[in-house]
Chain A
Amino acid sequence: MRDLSDLKDELEKCVRCGTCRSVCPVFRVAGREPSAARGKLTLIESYMKGEIGLTETYLKHLKECTLCGACRQNCPNSVNTVEIFNAARIDAATKNGIPLAASLIFKNLLDDRILPWALKMATRLQGLIFKDSSVEKGLLSRFSLPIIGSGRLLPPLANKFFMELPEVKALSKQEQGSKGPKIAFYAGCGINYLMPEVGTATLEVLKKAGTRVIVPEGQVCCGMPAFSMGDEKIARNMALKNLEAFEAHEFDFITTSCATCGHGLKNLFRKLLGDNSELKDRVEAFCSKVRDITELLVNELDYLNKAGNEKKGELIATYHDPCHLGRAQGLRDAPRYLIEKCSAVNLKEMKNPCSCCGLGGGLSTTNYDLSINITKRKVDNIKGSGADIVVTACPGCMVQLRDGLHKFGVKAKVAHVVELL
């Protein structure tokens, strides 16, 4: 992986034309130069030259970014902005000794040993902190908490985490059935702690598609959240643990229903572990088998022909492209094909389906106001499409969209593609 100091040439590729101002979701809301890539790159360059230090303001601007990659995709000179931003975050976190969301709680949350424990405690405690909200799924925080803020719709922690469901535990060492391609399912934190139902729906679809599934035990967080907060070390540890957990089994593909995890497993792993010559081949073997669930169904399992032509009902659905699926993995068609051919809803595009939901890059933790105002634009577009359901393929986006729809009073439901199949 390239260090910030290796990225000098990449930084110099920016000619400051300003194109990034037209596509940056943060700039659209914040409206000032430091939030667009051009400003951030200038700051990073000045920091590297020693003209500014690791100041509060510098860190603030570094954090005001969802890492959605729209600037990189639209840059006429193909400046790899996201790589630079990640490297700058790692540099800052390393030198400061704490990740960018510099609260102790957050640091602990990033650690995979503490996370499950902390969340379990929270499940017990949440009755005290949250009151039921009648709207959609989720809970409205009753009190204003420092990182939560009142009026924010948070999904309840699952009563029973996905990895602990008996039907999942039954698959943790050995797959069921004896025919069909063998698939290893990677759940990820969103599904495990917040949305086990998306996980169970995935398992059902995989069964329908005629595969044998295993959900390897010992899998941990994919490391994307830690990485984007600049904590490369934790991210690398997690990658290693996952590698080992999956290497204990044989399978044809690894799949996940989380766009962010998919991007992490496919691309981040290579960056984190690929430099190590001993690990290189193992990492390559792992990464080359990773498929997003929609990609797996459409490209590998011929699901469109096996299960196609569902009869259409009345409901209108619109599809939100998760940044980590559309931009990061180039998968825009597969989820749409599945909705069109294999579900009972009618697909209607919204304006700017690929613009970021506002959650990414840790922004919803570090600057909730900014983050939810980005979501507001998304919500307006959803409303404009007249859809009853917003379909997407990432639990992270689902959390953010539910929060935004609730906050801005739009009635649409949020679902994962697999829940419609």
Chain B
Amino acid sequence: MLTNIVKNELKRIVGADNASFSKEDLLCYSYDATNSLHLPEAVVFPATAEEISLILKMANAEGFPVIPRGAGTGFSGGSLPVEGGVVISTERMKAVIEIDPDNLTAIAEPGVVTWEFQQEVEKLGLFYPPDPSSLKFSTIGGNIAECAGGPRAVKYGVTKDYVLGLEVVLPTGEIINTGVRTAKGVVGYDITKLMVGSEGTLGIVTKATLKLLPLPETIKTMLAIFPDLKDAAKAVSGIIRAKVIPSTLELIDSVCIKCVEEYAQVGLPQAEAVLLIEVDGSFDTVDKDSEVVKRICAGNGSTEVRIANDKKEVKDLWKARRAISASLFRVKPNKINEDIVVPRSAIPELIAGLQEIGKKRNLLIAGFGHAGDGNIHVNIMYDKKDPKESKEAQEAVVDVFGLTIKLGGTLSGEHGVGITKAPYLKMELTEASIDAMKRIKAAFDPKGILNPGKIFPKADKAQADRLKEPV
């Protein structure tokens, strides 16, 4: 429980308009895209690193949890106040402070929406590639904390490849600057990389220096249609083997096609699978690469390769692609959404394995995602109200993770561990590495006040069981 003294102090630090304790506001900051609710005791909207620093110092002294929050679109519960405490929303910190075309860098505050940042840099002919499907509403801070990635990762990498330096408030309240503003730098430990993907457990990002690229001259968007899902998976490996690196290589299976077409109505074909492929670069390269892609798709059983003719067709295809995750609820009221990654060459095996798991457990498993980098979003669809189906779904998760590890993969490519994957951490990491990570956490946050209850499974069995319950 926050004392009145703490509440008054919070108001004093951020201003009365920027601190709320009303049940209504707390409810609105109690959830993220995992759709589970945990009430905080306060939500504050600071404007500066200094304000955040004061709050964290007080949290150490008084012993209350602090939870950083961007847009609350996380898929692993990272911003949920599972142990109560104060939510720090970055919604007021949304300035793009600087764009430097000479050095190809930009400085942004954490609450900037990724899409809006991209629009700003593109005006100057520059390019910030990380593109999670939530890019129109998730924030740079949230993207950094989860090391978000998207379709372009296959060619351009993920958020961590674009973070040069950070201003971070440490859990103990010190404000530090990490990293460099230069192309290289090896002075001291690389705390920047440690912060990226740390899920808001090691510090609160208050400014980010981001790397930019020149905007590619042109892009070609294609849709290849396959009567057999396995053939589509083979085409993915084929394209990579032919040494073409598309800027997008997305696989969408029939369940996803059906759901998203119902929503977006952009004329997706009723096929077993489609690949959404983009190649970018100079006009010459794009022409050449798209020919190779077409040939390989046809050679692997594609019945048709469509090319988007204008901006609207491109926009429609992307609107559809980005809406898949949420539109899947049209077939079943609940789903367990995993974003496993396997080595690219293992994709056909993974697809076959998923189909088997679905058959064995009598479940609908929808798959889509970044086939180009081996990151497939596996959606196990079920109905919470059907106890048998719920149980099968939970067991299917373990099957899917087992298969992933067997194929040399990892449990999460971009959504993070948070609370949803904490119970499974040991399937991938050894006791010794989990321990090393815990010691890092303790070194940064000796009192354990910053985003507690995340990543590391609780020793407590009851808690672990509760966490296992799919959201």
Contact = CB atoms under 8 A, between A and B. Distances in A.
A22 interface: yes
A8 to B, nearest CB: 13
Contacts of B451: none
Contacts of B89: 32-33
A77 to B, nearest CB: 5
B24 interface: yes
Given A17-B33, A22-B113, A33-B29, A52 B24 contact: yes
B330 A77 contact: yes
A282 to B, nearest CB: 34
A16 interface: yes
Contact of B28 (A15, A17, A34, A55): A34
Given A22-B115, A55-B24, A76-B326, A16 B33 contact: yes
B266 to A, nearest CB: 13
Nearest to B260: A76
Contact of B91 (A15, A18, A31, A78): A31
A250 interface: no
B65 interface: no
B57 to A, nearest CB: 25
B71 interface: yes
Given A32-B45, A77-B329, A22 B35 contact: no
A61 interface: yes
A57 interface: yes
B72 A18 contact: yes
Interface stretch (A38-46, A177-185, A334-342, A388-396): A38-46
Interface stretch (B132-140, B161-169, B282-290, B453-461): B132-140
Contacts of A57: 22, 24-25
Contacts of A31: 91-92, 94
Interface in A11-27: 12-13, 15-19, 21-22
Contacts of B24: 34, 43, 52, 55, 57-58, 61
A314 interface: no
A10 to B, nearest CB: 13
Given A46-B27, A51-B23, A57-B24, A13 B94 contact: no
A112 B138 CA distance: 46
A52 B325 CA distance: 31
Contact of A17 (B27, B92, B326): B326
B31 A42 contact: yes
B110 to A, nearest CB: 14
A61 B24 CA distance: 9
A51 to B, nearest CB: 7
Given A21-B71, A42-B27, A52-B24, A16 B137 contact: no
B32 interface: yes
B329 A15 contact: yes
Nearest to B29: A33
B28 to A, nearest CB: 4
A18 B94 contact: no
Nearest to B134: A18
Contact of B326 (A15, A33, A52, A58): A15
B263 A18 contact: no
Interface string B104-142: 000000000101000000000000000000101110000
Contacts of B22: 55, 57
B323 interface: yes
**Chain A interface residue count: which class?**
20 to 34
B252 to A, nearest CB: 14
Contact of A76 (B30, B138, B327): B327
Given A15-B35, A34-B24, A21 B137 contact: yes
Interface in A45-82: 46, 51-52, 55, 57-58, 61, 76-78
A16 B35 CA distance: 6
Contacts of B329: 13, 15, 77
Among A33, A52, A55, A57, find the residue whose CB has the most chain B CB atoms closer than 10 A.
A33
Nearest to A24: B137
A46 B31 CA distance: 13
Given A31-B94, A78-B263, A18 B28 contact: no
Interface in B133-165: 134, 136-138
B73 interface: yes
Contact of A33 (B37, B72, B263, B330): B72
A22 B137 contact: yes
A39 B28 contact: yes
Contacts of A42: 27-28, 30-31, 37
A51 B39 CA distance: 12
Contacts of A77: 263, 326-327, 329-330
Contacts of B330: 77
Nearest to B22: A57
Nearest to B69: A33
A42 B32 CA distance: 12
Given A46-B27, A76-B326, A18 B115 contact: no
A18 B22 CA distance: 22
Interface in B56-87: 71-73
B103 to A, nearest CB: 29
A182 B91 CA distance: 55
B275 to A, nearest CB: 21
B73 A17 contact: yes
Given A18-B71, A21-B137, A52 B23 contact: yes
Nearest to A76: B326
A61 to B, nearest CB: 7
Nearest to A42: B27
A278 B22 CA distance: 47
A55 B25 CA distance: 12
A76 to B, nearest CB: 3
Among A15, A22, A46, find the residue whose CB has the most chain B CB atoms closer than 10 A.
A15
Contacts of B134: 17-18
Nearest to A14: B35
Contacts of B25: 34, 57
A181 B325 CA distance: 50
Given A34-B28, A58-B24, A17 B325 contact: yes
A19 B28 contact: no
A16 B71 CA distance: 11
Given A33-B72, A43-B28, A19 B23 contact: no
A24 B45 CA distance: 20
A162 to B, nearest CB: 40
Nearest to A59: B24
A21 B333 CA distance: 22
Contacts of B115: 22
Contacts of A16: 31-33, 35, 72
A21 B70 CA distance: 12
Interface in B6-53: 22-25, 27-33, 35, 37, 45
A332 to B, nearest CB: 13
Nearest to B34: A16
Contacts of B91: 31-33
B446 to A, nearest CB: 32
A43 B25 CA distance: 9
A44 to B, nearest CB: 10
Contacts of B137: 18-19, 21-22
14 contacts: A15-B35, A17-B134, A17-B326, A19-B136, A32-B89, A34-B24, A34-B25, A43-B24, A43-B27, A57-B24, A61-B24, A76-B325, A76-B326, A77-B327
Given A17-B325, A21-B137, A51-B27, 15 more contacts: A17-B33, A18-B71, A18-B134, A18-B137, A18-B138, A19-B137, A21-B71, A31-B94, A33-B91, A43-B24, A55-B24, A57-B25, A76-B327, A77-B326, A77-B330
Interface of B: 22-25, 27-33, 35, 37, 45, 71-73, 89, 91-92, 94, 113, 115, 134, 136-138, 263, 323, 325-327, 329-330, 333
Interface of A: 12-13, 15-19, 21-22, 31-34, 39, 42-43, 46, 51-52, 55, 57-58, 61, 76-78
